[in-house]
Amino acid sequence: MQTILLITISIIPAVVLLWYFNKQDKGQKEPKKLRWKIFAWGIMAAVFAVIIELNVEELFRYLGVNPIRTFWLYIFLTAFVTAAFVEEAIKLWVVKTHAYNNKNFNEVMDGITYTIIASLGFATFENLFYVLDGGFGIGILRAIISVPAHAMFSGIMGFYIGKAKFAKSGATKLILIGFAYGVFYHGMFDFLLFTQTALMFLVLPLLVVMGLHLRSKIKMAHFHDHLTHTEPQKLSAWRIIKVVIATILILLGTAGAIGTVALTQDPTSGYTGQDIIYAGIIAATLLVISYFLIRKKKT
């Protein structure tokens, strides 16, 4: 029974995200048969990735790169090459081979849709192993963080694949730009987690930034597909900076308030109810600052 529950927890995040991103496809819906085909190839791509990644890891060990003597170099290469480069390249291969030249790939948004479907097939296979090994806690954590992250890495890449499909020139350049975005975001996400330090918490603002970036690309795809006549504003660097700062402030305020409450339970800590009030005021202040940072001014 427990195994069935763990398998269910492993699959549900992909099902929810497939439903959500299908809703974002405002144009012609993709055939179910093709969608399931790409999802299945995403699962098989995960198998290919494991084989390739094991060989890449073996090459690094042969070159003397290991987590003991060269820790930071090791996690950088593991994050950006072993994981990000290999996995995003395989997802790109799935879409290029099995969807790109299909007659149903007839909108820019289809690049996002098919790449996300492939990524969720990949993430579901990966999720099964992590959750069956790690249990319910890992399943919940991955449902909130890792599975959506896979969709975002690849969805941003997919926008450029969609643009390349209909570009009169420079299609290869567009695909390479998208691939670079996918590798960068995926590599940064894994690198922060691999550090096993306080840097891990930076994956939360990174997820927010990726979400904003993907939403911006979905709106742009709708514009290119003539589903809207107003060209959306590009996501500015200043907007990204403000969102990152706001996310960090929210994390600090929440962590400070929770930490203070926890410390008051320890009689040796010296913390009192008054400290909870102070922590609450600080948290509320940080939340207000965050609100003013991320709110959009009416034009």
The Cα 113–Cα 108 span in angstroms is 9
CA distances from 30 to 42, 77, 182, 208, 242 (A): 17, 37, 23, 28, 36
Q: How far is Cα of residue 285 from the mean position of the Cα atoms in its chain?
A: 29
For residue 289, pLDDT over 60 is answered with: yes
pLDDT at 299 over 70: no
- The whole-number average pLDDT for the span 170-190 is 96
113-139: per-residue pLDDT in tens? 999 999 999 999 999 888 888 888 888
pLDDT of residue 298: 57
What integer pLDDT is reported at residue 244 of this predicted model?
A: 82
Residue 267: pLDDT above 80? no
Provide the pLDDT for residue 172. 95
pLDDT surpassing 80 at residue 297: no
The Cα–Cα gap between 21 and 24 comes to 5
Reply yes or no on whether the pLDDT at 146 is more than 80.
yes
CA distance 148 to 226: 27
pLDDT, tens digit (0-9, with 9 covering 90-100), for 4-63: 888 888 899 999 999 999 999 888 889 999 999 999 999 999 999 999 999 999 999 888
| % residues pLDDT > 90 (the chain) | 58
Mean residue pLDDT across the chain: 89
149-175 pLDDT tens trace: 999 999 999 999 999 999 988 999 999
CA distance 194 to 152: 19
The neighbour count for residue 4, using CB atoms within 10 Å, is 8
User: Which pLDDT belongs to residue 264?
Assistant: 80
Interval 78-96: pLDDT, tens: 999 999 999 999 999 999 9
Q: Does the pLDDT at position 269 exceed 80?
A: no
The total number of residues shown for the chain amounts to 299
Question: Percentage of the chain surpassing pLDDT 70?
Answer: 98
